[in-house]
Structure 1
Amino acid sequence: MNIERKDLLLYAVTDRNFLHGISLEDAVEQAILGGATCIQLREKAVDEGELINRAKKLIEVCHRYNVPFIINDDYEAALKCGADGVHVGIEDAPVAEIRRIAGKNFIIGATAKTIEQARLAESSGADYLGVGAVFPSPTKKNALRITPELLKEICGSVSIPAVAIGGITAENVKAIAGCGQSGIAVVSALFGAEDVRAAAEKLTEASKAAL
């Protein structure tokens, strides 16, 4: 397994639009110091060259603390910049194709909203799943909602770990307690906080309590 369950306890997904006057590098470091166990760089509005430049700065921070660094969607950029892996959505490149190109040691995460999608991702070579949105999400307002019951069914249908995502806060995560997730993925609840490190600490404890 390229990523362990413990690496998904607090999976931080970046969004510079939420930052309060600090650089993304500083925000990511504060998140890690507060307990973030994996970092995903999400940049929807830049070209590949700029994505790689931004990624390299974060790789240095993440690897300083032995935290896996994932790029959203673009597996080619992830391979070029030396990222540990990629996370792909249902509409992105197939997991099997990425695994064939990237090799066995590259981390591949895949979004799953149904049991069928989860099982296909696992059989195609995915290392972990992202399942959601479990709550209304400020970053993906039209995202399909996943009930706690379906989250539990999806997590139980595969042997690879799954991280819950979508509108998760330290306060509402208790609603998915015991659903089988290995952790939570957060965006605004972390990078939108005035004190990123303190938010990460609170989210880490909440994630542990919900396992």
Structure 2
Amino acid sequence: MRIDYSLYLVTDRSLCGSRSTIDVVAAAVAGGVSCVQLREKHLPVREMIAEARQLISFLRPLGIPLIVNDRVDVALAANADGVHLGQSDMHIVDARSILGPGRIIGISAESVDDAVTAEQEGADYIGISPVFGTMTKTDIAEPLGIAGVREIRRCVGLPLVGIGGISAANAAEVVRAGADGVAVVSAIVSAASPENSARELFMHVQSGRAN
């Protein structure tokens, strides 16, 4: 499966206000989101599986993958397209043995060494985390900055997605540094218009590729 990581939406229902996750995702997709990650740290497992299935029923006919954060069991139960794992989550070798060869496995990299190891162990893409400072996650390393993106791009050949403090003001710069796309949470899910916010971000991603 060839994945377009250009504009990668990470969900967070606590930041959606009165809107449902599916409504925010639908609006964001209309604006140009090309990949969606279900990340709901505090959702009971049955609810998370149900939400994953609802998202898949909407996204799959559009050819947009759903990635599940952390939870290999949820991804398998819901028949999601893959999982995204952090440095303290299930090891990629174990996840691959459970999920099989056909599903996507993304790995968060907080350093060049993390990224090189992820590539060697068979990751499908790397989330460079965090590029900039962010309030969405508090348990993260120091920001890698644009220089960090460039260095990871120099060292690995996998698709790279920058996450952490990404906005319309800096998305193009992240792509120019070598990222294949940007991942966002609050910049879309908390926006007054997720569709318009996604469209603006997508425009800046494309601008970064053109320069």
Q: Does 1:165 align with 2:153?
A: no
Q: TM-score, normalised by structure 1?
A: 0.94
| Amino acid corresponding to residue 56 of structure 1 in structure 2 | R
- CA positional deviation for 1:65: 1.4
2:102 aligns with one of 100, 105, 112: 105
Q: 2:16 aligns with which of 15, 19, 23?
A: 19
| Structure 1: distance between partners of 2:200 and 2:100 | 36
Query: What TM-score do you get using the length of structure 2 for normalisation?
Result: 0.94
Gaps of 5+ in 2: none
- Residues 161-190 of structure 1: per-residue CA shift (max 9 Å, x gap): 010000100012244342110000000000
Q: Quick check: 1:42–1:72 contact (8 Å CA) kept in 2?
A: yes
How far has the Cα of 1:67 moved from its partner? 0.3
Asked if residue 38 in structure 1 is aligned to residue 38 in structure 2, the reply is: no
Give the conservation status (yes or no) of the 8 Å contact 1:183–1:208. no
Cα distance, 1:20 vs structure 2? 3.6
CA distance in 2 between counterparts of 1:76 and 1:91 reads 16
What pairs up with 1:67-86 in 2 under 5 angstroms?
67-86=64-83
> Deviations along 1:39-88, whole A, 9 cap, x unmatched?
00001012221210111111111113110000000011101111000000
Q: Which residue of the partner structure matches residue 178 of structure 2? A: 180
Asked if structure 1 preserves the Cα contact closer than 8 Å seen for 2:7 and 2:33, the reply is yes
Of all paired residues, the percent bearing the same amino acid is 37
Per the alignment, do residues 177 and 24 of structure 1 end up closer, same or farther by CA in structure 2, a change over 3 Å counting?
A: closer
Match of 1:52 among 49, 58, 62: 49
The aligned amino acid for 2:179 is Q
Match of residue 195, structure 2, among 180, 190, 197: 197
What residue ranges of structure 1 are gaps of 5+ in the alignment? none
**Alpha-carbon shift at residue 15 of structure 1 (Å):** 0.8
Query: Match for 1:119 among 116, 119, 131?
Result: 116
Q: Does 1:128 align with 2:121?
A: no
SS of the aligned residue for 2:176 comes to coil
Question: Using the alignment, how far apart are the partners of 1:36 and 1:137 within structure 2?
Answer: 20
Contact map agreement 1:169 1:203 (CA 8 A) in 2:
yes
The offset of 1:19, in angstroms, is 1.4
- Runs (4+) of structure 1 moved beyond 6 Å? none
- Give the letter for the 1:113 counterpart: E
Shift of 1:21: 2.5
The number of residue pairs the alignment matches comes to 208
Secondary structure at 1:8's aligned position in 2?
A: coil
Contact 2:131 2:148 in 1 (8 A): no
In the alignment, the residues of structure 1 paired with residue 174 and residue 7 of structure 2 have an alpha-carbon distance, to the nearest angstrom, of 15
Q: Is the 8 A contact 1:88 1:109 kept in 2?
A: yes
**What is the distance in 1 between the residues matched to 2:174 and 2:62?**
29
Return the alpha-carbon distance in structure 2 between the equivalents of residues 89 and 75 of structure 1.
Answer: 12
- Superposition RMSD on alpha carbons, in Å? 1.3
